Structure 1
């Protein structure tokens, strides 16, 4: 099912978007950072020309500003974030393993945890961040789901790893991503998802709306939120909320690589809060 877009929160040193997922346990904390409230300037600032909270250290921003932004974020968390080296794949890792290898970059696109105080996080700026928890709050996860990761099964792998770690019924929240009115793709993207459609000829039309061809090349508007819901439903995850923002159109709040070319990155984070 589709849910609410989320709730804006301003009680931190920077504004964030909070998942509005009914049934999530109170001791699970989650949020997505926005583009405001940091130390980054220029293309990495906010829409008003003020300093921005870019958290990506691979996008050309001043690394000192990125460090200041990450330090500002970490002060609000139970543990420092160890970010993945995201490669648009389907590899899922345990946050405890990241903690043990914190000085070596780990190539993966999703992270899960069953331990209190370990933060799971992904970076995005149009790709889809998906946050997960089970209803008892025993296992949480964060996944970076661009179209390549979606087509290659990153969400299914995340759910499988959570279940192997003991998760019960799973809830998912679709964080801010490029909306279906802006995500123009070619036939290669459509073809990449055909194996996921189960041979149903009409199903791709639910997620890919044809547009006028460009230089003889077929073009479509892809619904990354709809694709994510379908793939999650296929593995038994039906309590799905979020998926109502557009990073391209909501420039006041979100970074967007598709819109700006040079862009910062936002973080979507989730953790199990300690009872102490």
Structure 2
């Protein structure tokens, strides 16, 4: 495994400091081996702190990392200054127009989404698991960016590594919930084994972004469940009966 993080970049965001990081380049060991940044994991605290430092330096050296206490909500917060880890807001998206802040979203199968309006100097990051996605977390992120002067016609978005449809089996009740919200959501489900379906989280998030008027959307198409060497996966760990799992981080900021 590489000694340093290797960020995955999105073409849509190349003018800004950003990156989707996997498990490569960290110091954690065991089931958390690699760049585990999850403060809520059972990993060694010193290793987590070092991994978060490495992630920050790989994207925007000297920046102040800002993350959330994520709760699978549709809530977005505007960040004007860094806050201590103990004071992290309970939300699932954050936006800023302040240079020197690095916004971070943690995932382990859910979809990380990075946003930018370069002209307005506004960036955002969202944690879109299925609950947040159907609840409108990406809609809330866009609205918060507009409060800072962004224009959705200029906003670009990139969807990072997440669990892919081939790996994401759900039951009939899950399908019904999405179809009751909008009958057209049926297109994000493929037939699976009896009584089950395969859900396209990435495709659903991309459609929500498009429905909000985002004209440029880049989906990286990387499956966290299938690629153990590069990514942590909650579902993979659960299927194996492992006692814990690591979290990867996706980052975006504005240079000073």
- TM-score, normalisation: structure 2: 0.89
Give the aligned partner of residue 236 of structure 1. 213
* 2:101 alignment partner, SS class: coil
Post-superposition Cα deviations, 1:182-211, rounded to whole Å, max 9, x if no partner, equal: 1111233223323542xxx4x233101122
Relative to 1, partners in 2 of residues 1:220 and 1:86: Cα closer, same or farther, differing over 3 Å? Answer: same
Gaps of 5+ in 1: 1-9, 46-51
Post-superposition Cα deviations, 1:19-53, rounded to whole Å, max 9, x if no partner, equal: 122xx462x211011212111001111xxxxxx11
* Larger strand proportion of the pair: 1
* 2:26 alignment partner, SS class: strand
Residues 1-276 of structure 1 mapped to structure 2, 5 A cutoff: 13-21=4-12, 24=13, 26=15, 28-45=16-33, 52-76=34-58, 77=60, 78-96=62-80, 99=82, 103-136=86-119, 138-168=121-151, 169-194=154-179, 196-197=181-182, 201=183, 203-213=184-194, 218-261=195-238, 262-274=244-256
- TM-score, normalisation: structure 1: 0.83
* Larger helix proportion of the pair: 2
Gaps of 5+ in 2: 239-243
How many residues get paired? 246
**Take 1:101 and 1:155, find their aligned partners in 2: how far apart are those partners?**
25
**Take 2:48 and 2:142, find their aligned partners in 1: how far apart are those partners?**
31
Following superposition, the deviation at residue 175 of structure 1 comes to 0.3
* 2:150 alignment partner, SS class: coil
Please provide the CA RMSD for this pair.
1.9
* 1:220 alignment partner, SS class: strand
* 2:249 alignment partner, SS class: strand
